[in-house]
Amino acid sequence: MTGTERRKKLLNLMRESKTPLSGGALGSATGVSRQVIVQDIALLRTEGHSILATARGYLLEEPADTIRLFKVFHDAAATEEELTTIVDLGGCVVDVMVNHRVYGKVSAPLQIKNRRDVQAFLKNLESGKSTPLLNVTSGYHFHHVSAESEEILDEIEDALRRKHFLTEVFPYEQEEIRK
């Protein structure tokens, strides 16, 4: 099992558990030491996962939100409109991902929940030190979007479709984006 696979398993174990899981128990379930689990938990936190360390073990703090993956297409100039469309309807842009034919899946956590977050994100891009990931795939990219209900996600999907941001997921991407 690779480190990435192990961390996915750790997240699944914590999601399924109603009680805290000790580092030793997580280590036994994944075949590594408690120290490796501590390092994995630190990496998961840097990826944006909210994991509490309690006296009895680790707990994953995830809202009861629903999540949907959207494939979108636009140029960098439309980034603000895309993001504000999502957050104004009650969505949180969890991450951005591109599926590059050479580099494979590349993603970054965003956690953009409101217009203030949108403006902070755009300001960071304006610094000129980095460009949006969509630039490496000619505007095509994915977002995991969370919301309080499927109905809100449906509204977001409809709005993105009306603004011509949504695009088709190609057959070769179906398997790749599940990894």
Residue type at 91? G
Total residue count of the chain as it appears in this document: 179
Q: What is the C-alpha to C-alpha distance for residues 66 and 178, in angstroms, rounded to an integer?
A: 17
Which residue has tokens 């610094």? Answer: 127
Residue 144 known to bind ligand: no
Residue 100 known to bind ligand: no
Residue 173 known to bind ligand: no
Residue 74 known to bind ligand: yes
E strand residue ranges, the chain = 51-54, 57-60, 66-73, 92-100, 104-112, 140-147
User: Binding site for Ni(2+): residue ranges?
Assistant: 74, 82, 141, 143
List, as residue ranges, the binding site. Answer: 74, 82, 141, 143
